[in-house]
Structure 1
Amino acid sequence: MSDHFTDAAGRPHTVRDAQPADEPALWSLFQACADYFEAATGLPPAPGDVQSLFYGLPEGADWDDKRILVATDADGTVVALADVVMRYPAPEDCSVGLFLVHRSRQRASLGTSYATHLIRKATETGVRRITATVPRGWESGRRFLGALSFTFTGVPAREESRNRNRGPRETAVDVAELRVDGGAEGVTS
């Protein structure tokens, strides 16, 4: 997959599937987002977290539906990441496991532009509900999802751990969903 979008500041970006050769760039992104990892797990990111990204899958999901999508600047620098599982937990759903924007690009329209682009693309494939989680207490994540019209369900997240061991300091997560009705412009949350 290769696609393009322009952020609100007019900068062009490419969206493509992550490749194993992207591991150093993904590690740099993880390090730039250490505050997220500390909120989610109680620990800074570790190099193994990048590899886990390629192997983590919710129970009952199909490997063929997992996508790790990176957004790159015009020079090819990885500036954002979305880990998604299509058709999960139901056929018209999409689950977002991880969404990161490089610290240097946060609060500069990249995250919103990237997410809006991915939502539009997902709805074009028939997705009608997108779910995401945010670590409990991670207010910037809650605000980000709220700005995208996600609503928090109040339903506890399933306790499955995506084919990995949970860290001893991992926090609970809150589930948010975005319901769409009839295509890219039909967000109904």
Structure 2
Amino acid sequence: MDDKAQLHTLEGVGAAVLITMTLVIITQSATVMTPQHEMMLDVQLEQMAYDALTLLDTAPSSVISTNLTECVAGWDMNESNIQNKGLRSLGKQLSLLLPGFLYNVDLAYVQNDTLITKNAIVNGDPTEDAVVASKTVMLTNLSVAAAHGAWTIASDEIKIVEVRLTLWQV
């Protein structure tokens, strides 16, 4: 009688059980999630917002009149004051980069150890599917003076401002 054939059969059955158990454990523990259509739109919208802020911050002056840092440096510190030269330029550039979308722009910065968030451009109330993208800009006394802004920055100080763009589709 050949015992080797029976041993090979038992090894095969044991390997099959081991592989089957491994597959069951993997499929039960890992949830495979397919992104929904709404989630894909949100991801695309968020990427558009980040791209717009990055483009405004890095584009050369031959392409746009004022970059993001110059727009923020020229802000006169009043909430929702689109009449301000820097914000008017920022609003115009954003409307060209994001046609068919509504957006709000908030500026967040630290002053006297307190985080302050001010509305810079307001175009309405965002819907529930709105996305937020942010970009930080660095202001110095020279950049504020060149843009005729109202920031109070000492000559040896640097002010970090977070520009938050809330974007939604109508």
TM-score normalised according to structure 2 size:
0.26
Higher Cα Rg, which structure: 2
Q: Of Structure 1 and Structure 2, which has the larger fraction of its residues in strand?
A: 1
**Higher helix residue share:** 2
Greater relative contact order (CA < 8 Å, ≥ 6 in sequence) = 2
